Amino acid sequence: MIPRILLASVALALLPAAAATCDGLGKLSLPDTTITTAELVSGGSFAAPGVPQPFTNLPSFCRVAATIHPSKDSDIQFEVWMPASNWNGKFFGVGNGGFAGAITYAGLASAIREGYAAASTDTGHQAPGQNASWALNHPEKIVDFGHRAIHETAVKSKAVLKVFYGEQPKRSYFSSCSNGGRQALMEAQRYPADYDGIIAGAPANYWTHLLSMAASNVQATMQDPASYIPAAKLPAIQAAALAACDTLDGAKDGIIENPAQCRFDPSVLLCKGQDSDTCLTAPQLTALRQIYGGLRDKNDKPLFPGYPMGGEAEQGGWGLWITGAEPGKALMFAFSTEFFKNMVYSNPDWDFRTFDPVRDTQTADEKFARVLNSNDPDLKRFRDRGGKLILYHGWSDAAIPAYNIIDYYRSVEQKMGPPTSFVRLYMVPGMQHCGGGSGATFFGQLGPSKTPQESNIETAVERWVEEGAAPGPIVAMKFKQGMNPASGVAKTHSLCPYPQVAQYKGSGSMDDAANFICVAK
């Protein structure tokens, strides 16, 4: 691997004198890289490839598209967008969800609106995010997806920036969620020099065990048709969980503040007579217990945590991810079966009915733990170079169990001692996967000028890196209309640095963060 400083100097040496212009970047020579586009895009709107609607309100920017070939079977496409003027001197890495397969143009557009130069990659293949057929018998493409593409994109993009602006970025940041959260932690663990500040949301960092757990849940709800839990029964499950645990924080607000304290016994839902949408049959109750209990070996030792209680029936919840509108239609069904068919066993005919929790989880680990998992607690290199890491996860996440990020945080603490000098974890009550849900779930997307500093997680990590101001509680907001700030704020809530949680003071509006205090639990 060529060091980045050497890479930049090689680029400069090979560059004709006039190539500091955007168009001239098309002649830039970088190792294992082919530049396919270098164009100056005027401000206003831009129609990105494959995106139905053009992006608007964009500044004038230099767009460079390129392909990286670190192996014979690699075809890593990436783009770097650089404001033509008023660059803030910073680089922003944009991640991917699912199995990736496309450049995240929306993230690039958001970044340059705020003055960042930004880059994103398809991670080495083109496909819908729920499709892993590209991986079948392509081990190098799996390596690209696992970690190589996101790193190579950072290195090559900074080399392009160095030429275009005449200087390296003063600071570099990465923020993403889900698979992007896995990528974020992969950068901190494996490539700690790439970024100064990293935000990892709802990370799928224990990839092999997450998708083994998903396969186990598919089996639990579909092996026997009588075990399937239809969407019509999810409201009864959530209502029973809220009845047991909603008021543990002193506030009856329809949200469980800290599901880890919830001792809800789902057996109260067992049908006493005729089956109905207000109760569960015995097979359904068994399946529900497994979903809550997580992946376990034959000795009942946990291999991966189950799902917290409290957000089962919400839009974007279990009906989308776990149980689906009907059997076989849940997103976790797609992700788990695609993983085992195309990666673990290279067998398109693999059947979830054959899944064995111990055998198949072990096989997944043996083949891909080092390539796909970013659960290494040793962050010494990242910490020692001054890196700062913020983790967050929604408690009602129906894709990746929120307990997973707590397990990772605790593993860092066990390995390195209290990590509060460079790591913060925020658990978000009532938030679904990466956003949405019944709680106050907006706490910053790119755009610090649009939200208060204390409500912006990107601002928080930058102030920590650049000013040494460690973040405390972050005020999350819920808007009156979806994710539209212009509709007005309906609710605010304090997100407390873990292990603290928000506790209602006992008076005042429960929709006002000022009436809650962070306490240790």
433 is a catalytic site residue: yes
Distance CA 171, CA 92 (A): 9
In the chain, % helix, strand, coil (3-state, to 5) comes to: 40, 20, 45
For the chain, how far is it from start to end, CA to CA, in angstroms?
A: 46
Structure tokens at 337: 């079966």
Backbone angles phi, psi at 24, to 5 degrees: -65, -20
Residue 352 buriedness (CB in 10 A; 0-12 / 13-18 / 19+)? buried
Sign of CA dihedral 301, 246, 269, 312: negative
397 is a catalytic site residue: yes
Q: Where are the alpha helices (DSSP H) in 114-178?
A: 139-143, 149-165
Query: For 68-71, which contacts have Cβ atoms below 8 Å and span 24 or more sequence positions?
Result: 68/32, 68/33, 68/149, 68/152, 68/153, 68/156, 69/32, 69/33, 69/34, 70/32, 70/144, 70/148, 70/152, 71/140, 71/143, 71/144
Residue 175 buriedness (CB in 10 A; 0-12 / 13-18 / 19+)? buried
What three-state secondary structure class fits 77? Answer: strand
512 is a catalytic site residue: no
| From 125, 209, 393, 433, active-site residue | 433
| From 172, 178, 216, 455, active-site residue | 178
Q: What is the CA radius of gyration of the chain?
A: 23
| From 194, 196, 246, 397, active-site residue | 397
What are the catalytic residues? 178, 397, 433
